[in-house]
Amino acid sequence: MNEKAIVARLAQLAEIGKHAGGIDRALATPQERRARELFAKWARDGGYALTQDAAGNLFARRAGARTDAAPILVGSHLDTVPTGGAYDGAYGVAGAMCALELLDRRGITLQHPAEAVAWAGEEGSRFPLGCLGSSAFTGLWRLEDVLALSASDGVMLRDALNSAAGGLLPDVPARDAQRTAAYLELHVEQGPVLERGGVPLGVVTAIAGQRRYSITIEGESGHAGTVPMQLRNDPLGAAAEVVLAIESSARDAGETVATIGRFTVEPGGTNVIPARVIFSLDVRSPLDDRVSMVEEAAHRALETAQRQRRVQGSMECLEARPPAPMDERMRAAVHRAITGMNERAIDIPSGAGHDAMCLARIAPAAMIFVPSIGGRSHVGAERTADADLERGVEALAAAIIEVDAALGEN
Amino acid sequence: MNEKAIVARLAQLAEIGKHAGGIDRALATPQERRARELFAKWARDGGYALTQDAAGNLFARRAGARTDAAPILVGSHLDTVPTGGAYDGAYGVAGAMCALELLDRRGITLQHPAEAVAWAGEEGSRFPLGCLGSSAFTGLWRLEDVLALSASDGVMLRDALNSAAGGLLPDVPARDAQRTAAYLELHVEQGPVLERGGVPLGVVTAIAGQRRYSITIEGESGHAGTVPMQLRNDPLGAAAEVVLAIESSARDAGETVATIGRFTVEPGGTNVIPARVIFSLDVRSPLDDRVSMVEEAAHRALETAQRQRRVQGSMECLEARPPAPMDERMRAAVHRAITGMNERAIDIPSGAGHDAMCLARIAPAAMIFVPSIGGRSHVGAERTADADLERGVEALAAAIIEVDAALGEN
């Protein structure tokens, strides 16, 4: 690989599904399939053994010295959110391929096979399951249940993967079931921390747990002119207190984010005291007890509002996903690799979900982040500087070497 | 009139425009015209001289001893808000008619003529002007401008008032231009103060001034998982602080209400940090400087948020209406009338607008309130107890006598 291989490969991928606002490559569409075809071409050009599984995951295998060893998997995903960008997922897949080539070019022999992997449907943007391919691969979801998922247009994944338009690649052998020795994923940060800290690399400590809630506060509506302040049971004032209590508890908890993104006030007339406020709450932290702290703070604030403001509050948990800590020995191996490059890295939690969440359930896993310009993510305008992209690939290759060695010590 | 006349007349009016959810009598519709026809019948039955003006206001005149004296006007309106109730407006019109009859029945001769008035279109629910008839009558709006107003269905008021369906009543003479000696209006409170205070009557101190604003806070959107709390410029947290500052300043100001009824958060995704919050603010007080206090508190809170939270706030005043104080001598006369009945009354501001706002610009004016059950208003379920309705009419008749005497002292 030449020095600019990663930049050139991302530019190639970015042409697939490109439109005015960004990139659309939903799972098992013609666009996403063209991206898989490009991955297959890269694998063949590199001399790597290409396989796929029934969920649509693609594997490009670089052989290791120990033919009986389980492989180190290195990957990410090729699908995008609607009107997504050129880096989220694509960087980790193209970067894995570039890292394998870098090892070849440097004449490095690993003990373990190393496979570049393109996981199917991480974004959940067509079929209603995020990390679809890696969920099936790791057994978190049964394959038959995954294949039975229906897209919003009514098409079943099973049929979509059998179609010529967006289906599995022809003439690619099925992958044998086998153990996974370790997992590495290279990804753009999708947030502003590395850029603002002036640090080129991040080693992920854990993928945050996430709980999503719906909070409702019921008060009493009335005429904006005729109900004195002291006789009001205004749910908006109560909601404002709860919003600030949640924000403050997330700040105090540390390594925790709480977001209220949807917020509706009913009935919504400018001259009507609100009857009801309904809002969402999304809390994430690599530490589950911190999520609980914010949840408890929200409960306390609701109780206080009920007592002091004569309103009725309720809070429903819609979804709870535990944190996925990355493996300590894997993280240490990645840090050694980066130190060996004379580069700096910080430990950083991942607030977004990744395929590594699933892989961490079956193998020691680690992730490397590179900076996102302006912290922008999930938009056509997401960017990472070329130098940062190349540095990330170097770090990934070095990490594969360190992990191979660390596994060998087992 | 028998003791239940007011209850029976409100029941008659309530049949006109009635549907499942409430009552619809928008200005110059067949329903509203039928209400005017009923008023005309009452006037003829009572032997009162009926006149109307070009804006659709109707007058039923009880003669006074001094034929050269300007009349005491006593009225309210027959139109309703969409899906309105049976008391708002209707009570003051039917109550004025009942009060004139009570004076007849008791053989009372006044110095001044007294006219029961049905003002046209107070609610602004079809044509885009509240207090339409009283604005035209008092010269606050020029008649030609009022008649040129268009309804949302494109019909001009001039044409609607010329139509057979909803127009002026035939065979009713035009009212001569003449001075107004004084104005009295009987109305349901539309709020909870009298009921909660256990007081049957209120004497209005002033009709509140009102200012309406639109407030916008711009922050920075981002991924709910990847932007740490300390790097966020969340406009919702800022808005929550402004909401609480406004609420607190209105409480501190006294005799002041501040309502945030419309509140939108954009873009509104549960996993997206808000970019922008836009909300309405409606501030009312009988004292204009109190409205200014709340406005200043909102400005200060916005400035603090800008400084501390790196957001951009702006506040636009959409409408400003000064308070309309009621006449002190008229208020004293009403209090004397109520004391003479051995009843209790409290001074109370009116947070809602009324035709008395316009009349107060050309004549000494006063208003009497009776309790609204549960403070409910502008809904089909608005209610006032029969005994309170009857007491209000008694108080109005007694107030007419006191005002007639007070004017005579001039």
pLDDT for residue A2: 55
Nearest C-alpha neighbor of B54 from the set B155, B180, B143, B179: B143
Chain B, 218-257: which have a CB under 8 Å from a chain A CB? 222-231, 234, 236-237, 239-241, 243-244, 247, 250-251, 256-257
pLDDT in tens, B10-67: 999 999 999 998 999 999 999 999 999 999 999 999 999 999 999 999 999 999 999 8
Where are the domains positioned within chain B?
5-208+323-407, 209-321
Question: Between A321 and A42, where is the model more confident?
Answer: A42
- Percent with pLDDT over 90 in chain A: 92
Residue pLDDT, tens place only, B88-126: 999 999 999 999 999 999 999 999 999 999 999 999 878
Taking the C-alpha atoms of residue A60 and residue A42, their distance in angstroms, rounded to an integer, is 9
d(CA A10, CA A86): 7
- Choose from B187, B226, B229 for mutation: most chain A CBs within 10 A: B226
With cut-offs at 50, 70 and 90, classify the pLDDT of residue B269.
Answer: confident
DSSP string, B126-172: SSS-TTHHHHHHTTSS-HHHHHT-B-TTS-BHHHHHHSTTTSPPTT-
Q: Do B244 and A241 touch (CB under 8 A)?
A: yes
Cα separation, A13 vs A86, whole angstroms: 7
The count of C-alpha atoms lying within 13 angstroms of the C-alpha of A76, restricted to the half-sphere facing its C-beta, is: 25
Residues of A in contact with B212 (CB under 8 A): 270
**CATH number of the domain at B209-321, please?**
3.30.70.360
The yes-or-no verdict on residue A153 having pLDDT over 90 is no
Does B261 sit within 8 Å of A268, measured CB to CB? yes
d(CA B343, CA A380): 73
pLDDT recorded at residue A1: 45
Residue A339 structure tokens: 């130190």
| Residue A204 CB neighbours (<10 A) | 27
Q: How far apart are CA B284 and CA B265, in angstroms?
A: 25
Using CB atoms within 10 A of its CB, is residue A128 exposed (0-12), middle (13-18) or buried (19+)? exposed
CB B62 within 8 A of CB B113: yes
The residue behind tokens 């103060």 is B193
A261 → closest Cβ in B239, B240, B271? B271
Residue B74 CB-half CA count within 13 A: 32
- pLDDT tens digits for B196-229? 999 999 999 999 999 999 999 999 998 999 999 9
Say if the Cβ atoms of A224 and B265 lie within 8 Å.
Answer: no
- Residue A266 contacts B where some CB pair is shorter than 8 Å: no
Rounded Cα–Cα distance for residues B318 and A125 (Å) = 42
Q: What is the b/e burial string over B330-359, where b = at least 16 CB atoms within 10 angstroms of the residue's CB? A: bbebbbbbbeebeeebeebbbbbbbbbbbb
Of A251, A261, A274, the CB nearest to B224: A261
Residue A291 and residue A207: Cα distance in Å, rounded? 13
Structure tokens at A309: 């403001």
Residue numbers in A near B196 (CB within 8 A)? 231
Residue of B nearest to A248 (CA): B229
Q: Give CATH for domain B5-208+323-407.
A: 3.40.630.10
Dist. CA A106–CA A379, nearest whole Å: 36
pLDDT score for B3? 55
- Please check the confidence at residue A4 and state whether its pLDDT lies above 80: no
Query: What residues in A contact B353, CB-CB < 8 Å?
Result: 225
List of chain B residues whose C-beta atoms are within 8 Å of the C-beta of residue A228: 191-193, 257
**A31-52: b or e for each residue (b if 16 or more CB lie within 10 Å)?**
bbbbbbebbbebbeebebebbb
